[in-house]
Amino acid sequence: MEKKKYISLIKVKRMIALVTGATSGIGKATALLLARHGYDMIITGRRQERLDILSAEIKKISNAHVLSLCFDVRRQEEVTKNIQSLKENWSKIDVLVNNAGLAAGFSAIQEGVIDDWERMIDTNIKGLLYVTRIVAPMMIKHGKGHIVNVGSIAGKEVYPNGNVYCATKYAVDALNRAMRLDLLQHGIRVTGIHPGMVETEFSIVRYNGDEERAKKVYAGLKPLTPEDIAESIAWALTRPAHVNITEIVLTPTAQGNATTAVRKA
């Protein structure tokens, strides 16, 4: 099989990317691709064993330096402690990919599980804010940077039983646009990535480990892959310095919007 070729960045000096939620799915694919593009990687997640595996994989496929930080983005004190502890040679972060996020539960609003709501709000909104609050001033200090916020098509239109998850992704969309305005004067680029159906652990987590139910989400169509999203992120990052890709919405060819898809029997 012919090895897939990647368009490499032209590097004049060392560049660093920090990816949250890097232990699976879109985050993992993004970390691997950016390492191939020449970035040194700061990878974060809650599972140290998966961070160790990813670190080894990055080193195997690239010459990137890798630093793993094991923490939960929902815990503000953990976020602050880990990122503020970065040594000088790791603190000049060029790219932040706010990827950590999840859906928990699939119930009508009147039947919702409060713990699921809080888990989504704490991860998808507050976690993104905690990390950005620490990293953005670092970028401002060094006079450059690019923040990528991974949202969802669920942040563009709601669907039945999506209520709180959709609300959190609407918040990500609003924050993406607000960040762009706040950081405009500092020359920091901000991009929102809003995928439709992507086959990852997403549905397994949403359905509390029910793999059979999760498979039905993608039945009869070809969903996006984590690599598809990673390539969109890399494309936005590699535009000329005077170009900011404000947002990208991408879906499988078989998906028309959040509620409409063509499935083969």
DSSP secondary structure letters along 197-209? -B-SSHHHHHTTT
Find out whether 67 and 90 touch, Cβ atoms under 8 Å. yes
Q: pTM here? A: 0.93
Q: Is residue 262 part of a domain?
A: no
Q: Is residue 258 part of a domain?
A: no
Q: Is residue 171 part of a domain?
A: yes
% of the chain surpassing 90 pLDDT: 87
- The reply to whether 159 belongs to the active site is no
Instruction: Give the residue ranges of DSSP H helices in 11-64.
Output: 25-36, 48-61
pLDDT digits (tens, 9 = 90+) for 160-186: 999 999 999 999 999 999 999 999 999
**Please, which residues have CB within 8 angstroms of residue 178's CB and are 6 or more apart in sequence?**
none
> What pLDDT shows up at residue 11?
46
Q: Is residue 125 part of a domain?
A: yes
DSSP character string of 64-84: --EEEEE--TT-HHHHHHHHH
**Please, which residues have CB within 8 angstroms of residue 167's CB and are 6 or more apart in sequence?**
none
Q: Is residue 4 part of a domain?
A: no
Higher pLDDT, 265 or 59: 59
> What pLDDT shows up at residue 12?
42
User: Could you tell me which residues are beta bridge partners of residue 249?
Assistant: 194
Burial 80-111 (b: 16+ CB within 10 A, else e): eebbeebeeebbbbbbbbbbbbbbbbbeeeee
The residue whose two tokens read 């993104």 is: 128
pLDDT digits (tens, 9 = 90+) for 201-246: 878 888 878 888 878 889 999 999 999 999 999 999 999 999 999 9
39, 130, 159, 165: the active-site residue: 165
Q: Is residue 263 part of a domain?
A: no
Q: Is residue 106 part of a domain?
A: yes
Instruction: Read off the CATH number of the domain in which 228 is found.
Output: 3.40.50.720
User: Quick check: helix, strand or coil at residue 99?
Assistant: coil
How far is the CA of 22 from the CAs of 4, 115, 216, in angstroms?
22, 24, 25
The number of folded domains in the chain is 1
Check whether 5 has a pLDDT greater than 60. no
pLDDT digits (tens, 9 = 90+) for 49-97: 999 999 999 999 999 999 999 999 999 999 999 999 999 999 999 999 9
> What pLDDT shows up at residue 3?
46
Average pLDDT of the chain, as a whole number: 93
Which range marks the domain in which residue 21 is found? 16-250
Q: How confident is the model at residue 122 (pLDDT cuts 50, 70, 90)?
A: very high
- Which two structure tokens, joined as six digits, stand for 204? 């397994």
User: Could you tell me which residues are beta bridge partners of residue 18?
Assistant: 42, 96
Q: Is residue 107 part of a domain?
A: yes
Q: How confident is the model at residue 1 (pLDDT cuts 50, 70, 90)?
A: very low
The residue whose two tokens read 């990293």 is: 135
